């Protein structure tokens, strides 16, 4: 039998029982559809996560205070105020593998400008911060070394703060009050958007770290030190260097734990990838289960079809069809059935993905590899679950099959 | 050389336990090319088993079967399928057409399963076979839109299409009324006149009378094997019936006018 005829016979049989065929492949439609929809959304999401992570700044390392323990009780990360201005100064002088270094001292507060006010974070940073974070200025100037030295009360506004306090007006040169301390606006940062965690990164005021440390904080403790290594290859070496400097500064004996944590961008990327990995595994499980159920449905209906068409099989065998001809015929029918299901599933999956992305405003990426994979996998399901019924059909005894009522 | 040569064929069905059914008990039968043989017998006489044997659907327990000089006993199932495809045309009682498939496609089917030779234009051969059985106008009809007689003609066309050595007809008129039965028999007689060997299984004497040779089976033995001296012509019978009907039809009309 030629392929053309086999495919024609298979289509005829599928179209004869349209409703039954549709219900049969529903499992495959749902499985493939769910996978395609979720993978498109998931890939869209992880693409935007990766974009944001790389937006944190290049070669970025962050040094956090460690946990505090008293008699075995842990107070959790950053409970220990172990990073100080001295640490920062020492690092600034002693490291050789860093391109830039900036402390980060956070203070919250109400900001007032004219008749408007806004609650935001004020971060004390060094002039290198802009480069470390891979950020840029929209208007005006960033903090200068002179500003740091003389603890000037100057502020650089994030886009959101600028908009909230000044609207369409140019804030550069304007006066604002932070916790009732008067500041002069030196510049406005470029818009940066949401962070990985969903925070508005533009809702911030940057000021010289000396100003924040001595006027708004305790004059000693630093929340974070941010550094950027001279290259991505030197990041591990830079991390080791920082570790040894801080360990000697803190007089930590060999064998004792660090009282600080160094985290790099790759850690964050790894976290995000592991989340994506878990999602992929969950999706594969969903796909596997629904394709299994779908496949069993196909096997079931193919067995029914073989029984219904016993007489037809008998006729075909009597007029000279070999067992193999019958096997191929039913196998092709099962494969076409499941591939049709896969096709409908792919189309509805793409549709659902688009719909959801419109509803919650995220981008979706339809990966052609996943689409082809889903299509061929559904075909493979057809072969696997269609084989037993087809085998059964091909082994019928022509005499019995012809007598079958 | 005989087209069919059955030598001392025995068929025993093992029904499980000690129960054995002897369907055929040493049948010897030779059929030459161009014969028209009717096999008769009551149910259980072994005629269906004999039919399946000749049609290469079943194999004998003992004895030898030669079809066109080929020793059938030793063929495997693939070779048997090819022999059924090439040398035997089947016509069954229940019409046995494939549903939702046009007459033409049904007739084409044996050509599509033909592995032994390349057929250039199966459609043309199928059309020719359908014309031969007088179904030129019904080729695109599906079986459910054909009458019983027409369906049986499609089956005959399908049996013919691979130019087989024999046509095996198992109760071909079993489901047909008497006039249609005679019509079908006239198709068989025409084909036989063209030189095709026909073997017909029937339990109706009226039908068997259209053959040239009659074989009677009882309990797995051939009890009678003789030529029919006075072969009836299905065509003549059909014409006579038509006449009779016309006259009766006229009579009815006269009654109405009275």
User: pLDDT value at position A394?
Assistant: 94
CB-CB neighbours of B239 under 10 Å: 12
Q: Which residues of chain B have pLDDT under 70?
A: 95, 249-258
Interface test with A, best of B50, B77, B96, B161 (most A CBs within 10 A): B96
How many CB pairs lie under 8 A apart between chains A and B?
59
Give residues 366 to 385 of A whose Cβ lies within 8 Å of B. none
Interface test with B, best of A10, A305, A319 (most B CBs within 10 A): A319
β-sheet bridge partners, residue B6? B29, B65
Q: How would you classify the pairing of strands A73-74 and A175-178?
A: unpaired
**C-alpha A142, offset from chain centre:** 32
pTM exceeds cut of 0.80: no
**Do B170 and B51 touch, CB atoms closer than 8 A?**
yes
User: pLDDT value at position B258?
Assistant: 45
Provide the shortest C-alpha distance from residue B251 to chain A (in Å). 44
Among candidates B58, B78, B158 on the partner chain, residue whose Cβ is nearest the Cβ of A399: B58
Q: pLDDT tens string for chain A (405 positions)?
A: 678 888 888 888 888 888 989 998 998 998 899 888 888 887 887 777 777 666 666 678 888 887 655 556 666 555 556 788 888 888 888 888 888 899 999 888 889 988 888 999 899 999 999 888 888 899 899 999 999 999 999 999 999 999 999 988 899 999 999 988 999 999 999 988 776 666 788 899 999 999 998 888 877 788 889 998 888 778 888 888 998 898 888 888 888 888 888 888 767 667 766 777 787 788 778 777 888 888 998 999 999 999 999 999 999 999 999 999 999 999 999 999 999 999 999 999 999 988 988 887 778 888 899 899 889 989 999 999 999 999 999 999 998 898 887
Among candidates A312, A325, A402 on the partner chain, residue whose Cβ is nearest the Cβ of B98: A312
Write down how long chain B is. 258
- Identify the burial level of A285 via C-beta atoms within 10 angstroms of its C-beta, where 0-12 means exposed, 13-18 middle and 19 or more buried: exposed
C-alpha–C-alpha distance, residues A162 and B47, integer Å: 103
Provide the shortest C-alpha distance from residue A16 to chain B (in Å). 9
Cross-chain Cβ contact B113/A320 below 8 Å:
yes
Closest CA to A53 of A330, A320, A273, A289: A273
Cross-chain Cβ contact B101/A12 below 8 Å:
yes
Residue B101 contacts A, CB cutoff 8 Å: yes
- List of chain B residues whose C-beta atoms are within 8 Å of the C-beta of residue A317: 81
User: pLDDT value at position B81?
Assistant: 93
Cross-chain Cβ contact A318/B109 below 8 Å:
no
Residue A402: closest CA among chain B residues belongs to which residue?
B96
- List of chain A residues whose C-beta atoms are within 8 Å of the C-beta of residue B112: 1-2, 5
Among candidates B97, B100, B110 on the partner chain, residue whose Cβ is nearest the Cβ of A320: B110
User: pLDDT value at position A340?
Assistant: 93
Where do the domains of chain A lie? 3-52+270-403, 83-258
Token look-up 């089956």 returns B155
Cross-chain Cβ contact B113/A398 below 8 Å:
no
Closest CA to B148 of B205, B195, B91: B91
CATH code for the domain of B222: 3.40.50.300
User: pLDDT value at position B66?
Assistant: 94
Cross-chain Cβ contact A323/B85 below 8 Å:
no
- List of chain A residues whose C-beta atoms are within 8 Å of the C-beta of residue B100: 12, 16
ipTM: 0.90
- List of chain A residues whose C-beta atoms are within 8 Å of the C-beta of residue B84: 318-320
C-alpha–C-alpha distance, residues B175 and B52, integer Å: 20
Residue A312 contacts B, CB cutoff 8 Å: yes
The domain in which residue B220 lies consists of 4-257
Cross-chain Cβ contact B86/A320 below 8 Å:
yes
User: pLDDT value at position A109?
Assistant: 83
**Do A67 and A232 touch, CB atoms closer than 8 A?**
no
Provide the shortest C-alpha distance from residue B3 to chain A (in Å). 19
Residue A395: closest CA among chain B residues belongs to which residue?
B77
């Amino acid at each position: 039998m030629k392929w053309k005829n086999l495919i024609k016979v298979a289509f005829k049989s599928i179209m004869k029982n349209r409703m039954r065929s549709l219900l049969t492949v529903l499992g495959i439609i749902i499985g493939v559809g769910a996978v395609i929809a979720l993978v498109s959304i998931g890939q869209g999401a992880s693409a935007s996560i990766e974009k944001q992570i790389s937006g944190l700044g290049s070669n970025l390392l962050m040094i956090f205070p460690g946990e505090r323990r008293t008699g075995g009780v842990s107070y959790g990360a950053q409970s220990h105020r172990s990073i100080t201005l001295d640490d920062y100064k020492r690092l600034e002088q002693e490291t050789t593998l860093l391109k830039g270094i900036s402390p980060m001292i956070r203070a919250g507060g109400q900001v007032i400008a004219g008749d408007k006010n806004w609650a935001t974070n004020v971060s004390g940073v060094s002039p290198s911060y802009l480069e470390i974070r891979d950020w840029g200025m929209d208007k005006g100037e960033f903090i200068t070394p002179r500003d740091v030295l003389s603890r000037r009360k100057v502020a650089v506004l994030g886009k959101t703060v600028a908009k909230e306090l000044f609207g369409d007006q140019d804030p550069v040169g304007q006066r604002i009050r932070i916790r009732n301390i008067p500041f002069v606006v030196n510049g406005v940062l470029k818009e940066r958007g949401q962070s990985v965690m969903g925070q508005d990164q533009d809702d911030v005021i940057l000021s010289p770290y000396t100003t924040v440390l001595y006027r708004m904080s305790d004059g000693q403790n630093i929340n974070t030190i941010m550094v950027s290594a001279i290259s991505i290859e030197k990041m591990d070496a830079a991390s080791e260097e920082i570790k040894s400097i801080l360990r000697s500064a803190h007089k930590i004996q060999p064998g004792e734990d660090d009282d600080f944590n160094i985290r790099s961008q790759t850690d964050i990327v790894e976290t995000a990838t592991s989340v994506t990995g878990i999602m992929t595994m969950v999706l594969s499980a969903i796909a596997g289960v629904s394709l299994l159920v779908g496949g069993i449905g196909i096997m079931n209906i193919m067995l029914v079809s073989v029984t219904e068409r016993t007489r037809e099989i008998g006729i075909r065998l009597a007029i000279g069809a070999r067992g193999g001809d019958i096997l191929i015929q039913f196998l092709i029918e099962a494969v076409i059935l499941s591939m049709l299901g896969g096709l409908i599933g792919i189309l509805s999956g793409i549709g659902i993905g688009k719909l959801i992305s419109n509803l919650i405003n995220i981008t979706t990426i339809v990966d052609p590899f996943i689409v082809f994979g889903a299509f061929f996998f559904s075909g493979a399901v057809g072969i696997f679950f269609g084989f037993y019924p087809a085998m059964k059909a091909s082994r019928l005894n022509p005499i019995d099959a012809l007598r079958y009522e | 050389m005989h087209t069919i040569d059955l030598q001392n064929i025995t068929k025993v069905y093992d029904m499980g336990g000690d129960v054995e059914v002897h369907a055929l008990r040493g049948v010897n039968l030779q059929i030459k090319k161009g014969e028209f043989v009717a096999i008769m017998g009551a149910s259980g006489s072994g005629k269906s088993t004999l039919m399946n044997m000749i049609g290469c659907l079943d194999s004998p327990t003992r004895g030898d079967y030669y079809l066109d000089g080929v020793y059938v006993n030793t063929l495997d199932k693939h070779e048997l399928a090819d022999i059924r495809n090439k040398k035997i045309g089947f016509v069954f009682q229940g019409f046995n057409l494939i549903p939702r498939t046009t007459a033409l496609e049904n007739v084409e089917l044996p050509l599509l399963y033909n592995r032994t030779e390349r057929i250039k234009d199966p459609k043309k051969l199928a059309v020719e076979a359908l014309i031969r059985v007088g179904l030129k106008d019904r080729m695109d009809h599906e079986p459910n839109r054909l009458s019983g007689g027409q369906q049986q003609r499609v089956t005959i066309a399908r049996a013919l299409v691979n130019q087989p050595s024999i046509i095996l007809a198992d109760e071909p008129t079993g489901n047909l009324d008497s006039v249609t039965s005679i019509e079908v028999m006239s198709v068989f007689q025409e084909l036989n006149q063209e030189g095709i060997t026909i073997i017909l299984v029937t339990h109706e004497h009226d039908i068997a009378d259209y053959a040239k040779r009659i074989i009677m089976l009882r309990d797995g033995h051939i009890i009678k094997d003789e030529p029919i001296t006075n072969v009836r012509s299905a065509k003549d019978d059909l014409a006579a019936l038509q006449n009779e009907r016309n006259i009766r039809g006229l009579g009815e009309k006269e009654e109405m006018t009275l």
